[in-house]
């Protein structure tokens, strides 16, 4: 573990292979997939914004002393970029959280996954970075896979769908900005500032929209364990991988790898909750993995 932390801290001094970071992005997707089950179990004990505040507080509290121990560099540029990323990340999570109140969980997951398609177009629009037709095809293939995994008989469009689509737009912007910002600053410190920003915004928003914590949070050993999982693995580790890994993996491949959370979420539900695996779900998984192979071959 200590060696892994050194890799994260000293990321500017190592020549990490694309293969290592590809596996770490896939591991992040696995962690997020299991987090679906953890959140589903915890939502009865804590409201969404307080859950967001707790998990990001734990993540930030774990990162700050590591920054001090490993003497991560910080300057005005890092702070400004970290705050921008934090505001974007908080906005995306907030839109997703309130969007799901007005739509189904399946549509929420599927529409959020549109960020896979938006990332290459935003890179072209804002930075002039071109992608070929096969990469665009792979992005839509991955999106179709997510649809097969998450959508049921959901029909119609409502305000929740609109909020979730805005969430997808902000997630896409946050990913491409992270890829740009992490190049010339200490990536671990950048991520720490981002986590602190989300924590502060969540702590401000939670009591305003969800009331005092006494009525919104029911503490228990099970909830504490869940928040530690979400804070240390699903947030701290996952955001470190994303922020640092985008130095070595393209935003398009990273988004599709991270979208494997839908695959792992389904598998976790089958294993941990006893849900049934259908042929449609298997097809969705195959499309997701096929999309990753296409992107890998295209990027060489």
pTM: 0.84
pLDDT in tens, 122-134: 888 888 777 778 8
CA 70 – CA 81 distance, rounded (Å) = 21
pLDDT in tens, 82-113: 999 999 999 998 888 778 777 766 677 777 78
Q: What is the pLDDT of residue 15?
A: 46
Across residues 70-84, what is the average pLDDT?
A: 93
Choice among 61-70, 170-179, 213-222 with the minimum mean pLDDT: 213-222
Across residues 239-261, what is the average pLDDT?
A: 87
Whole-Å CA distances, 105 to 40, 87, 99, 122 = 11, 24, 9, 26
All structural domains of the chain with their residue ranges: 17-299
Asked if 206 and 55 touch (Cβ cutoff 8 Å), the reply is no
Helices vs. strands in the chain: H and E counts, helices first: 15, 0
Higher-confidence residue of 13 and 248: namely: 248
Which helix H or strand E contains 266, and what residues bound it?
Answer: helix 261-273
CA 228 – CA 150 distance, rounded (Å) = 26
Determine whether 98 is exposed, middle or buried from the number of CB atoms within 10 Å of its CB (0-12, 13-18, 19+): middle
Q: pLDDT at residue 5 above 70?
A: no
The percent of residues in the chain predicted with pLDDT above 90, rounded, is 28
pLDDT in tens, 182-232: 888 999 999 999 999 999 999 999 999 888 887 778 778 888 888 999 999
How many other CB atoms are found less than 10 A from the CB of residue 70?
15
Cβ-based neighbours of 269, under 8 Å, separated by 6 or more: 36, 37, 275
Cβ-based neighbours of 112, under 8 Å, separated by 6 or more: 96, 164, 167, 168, 171
Task: Output the furthest CA–CA distance in the chain (Å, rounded).
Answer: 53
Q: What is the pLDDT of residue 12?
A: 46
Q: pLDDT at residue 300 above 70?
A: no
CA 96 – CA 107 distance, rounded (Å) = 11
Asked if 294 and 116 touch (Cβ cutoff 8 Å), the reply is no
Q: pLDDT at residue 238 above 80?
A: yes
Q: pLDDT at residue 11 above 80?
A: no
């Amino acid at each position: 573990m200590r060696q892994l932390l050194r890799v994260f801290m000293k990321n500017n001094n190592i020549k990490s292979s694309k293969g290592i970071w590809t596996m770490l992005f896939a591991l992040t997707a696995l962690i997020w997939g299991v987090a679906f089950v953890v959140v589903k179990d915890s939502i009865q004990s804590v409201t969404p914004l307080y859950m967001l505040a707790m998990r990001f507080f734990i993540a930030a509290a774990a990162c700050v002393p590591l920054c001090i121990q490993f003497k991560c560099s910080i300057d005005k540029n890092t702070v400004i970029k970290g705050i921008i990323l934090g505001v974007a990340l908080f906005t995306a999570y907030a839109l997703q959280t309130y969007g799901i109140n007005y739509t189904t969980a399946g549509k929420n997951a599927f529409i959020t996954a549109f960020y896979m398609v938006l990332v290459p177009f935003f890179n072209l629009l804002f930075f002039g970075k071109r992608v070929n037709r096969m990469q665009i095809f792979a992005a839509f293939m991955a999106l179709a896979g997510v649809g097969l995994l998450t959508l049921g008989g959901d029909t119609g469009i409502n305000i929740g769908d609109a909020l979730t689509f805005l969430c997808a737009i902000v997630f896409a912007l946050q990913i491409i900005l992270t890829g740009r910002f992490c190049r010339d600053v200490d990536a671990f410190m950048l991520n720490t500032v981002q986590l602190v920003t989300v924590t502060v915004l969540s702590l401000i928003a939670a009591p305003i929209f969800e009331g005092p914590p006494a009525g919104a949070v029911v503490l228990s050993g099970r909830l504490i364990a869940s928040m530690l999982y979400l804070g240390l693995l699903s947030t701290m580790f996952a955001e470190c991988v994303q922020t640092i890994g985008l130095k070595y993996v393209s935003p398009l491949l990273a988004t599709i790898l991270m979208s494997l959370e839908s695959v792992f979420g389904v598998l976790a539900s089958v294993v941990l909750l006893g849900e049934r695996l259908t042929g449609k779900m298997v097809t969705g998984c195959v499309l997701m993995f096929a999309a990753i192979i296409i992107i890998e071959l295209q990027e060489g």
